[in-house]
Amino acid sequence: MRKHHSAAFKAQVVQDLLREEKTIAQLAAEHGIHPNQLSKWKATALRGLPGLFEGGKDVETLKAAHEVQLMGLYAEIGRLTTQLAWLKKKLGLPAG
């Protein structure tokens, strides 16, 4: 069974990796995580690091795009629900 770790836990482990006080193998044994997984977390953190210094404009753009997409999906759900209710009524099926 896969373990699911919180973002805060991953960030803490990556911080420990970046301090270079312990090896990847030591940290992996300490936390019960495979060393390859720790390397992937570190690589992900380093790839995302430049985005922290670019400002919040990109985050705001993503949030706005997400809101537009969300509203479109809710509208589609409404249309499909209405169509389904209409079809059930026409076919004489129970509405529930």
Per-residue confidence (pLDDT) for residue 29, from 0 to 100: 95
Residue 26's CB is within 10 A of a number of other CB atoms, namely: 12
Q: Which domain holds residue 68?
A: 55-96
Residue count of the chain: 96
Are 41 and 10 contacting, i.e. CB atoms less than 8 angstroms apart? yes
Q: Report pLDDT digits (tens) over 31-77.
A: 999 999 999 999 999 998 887 777 666 677 888 889 999 999 999 99
Q: In 3-state terms, what secondary structure has residue 21?
A: coil
Q: Is 45 found in the same domain as 4?
A: yes
Cα 53 to its chain centre, rounded Å, is: 21
Supply the pTM of this predicted model.
0.55
Question: How far apart (Å, rounded) are the C-alpha atoms in residues 38 and 28?
Answer: 7
Q: Is 9 found in the same domain as 47?
A: yes
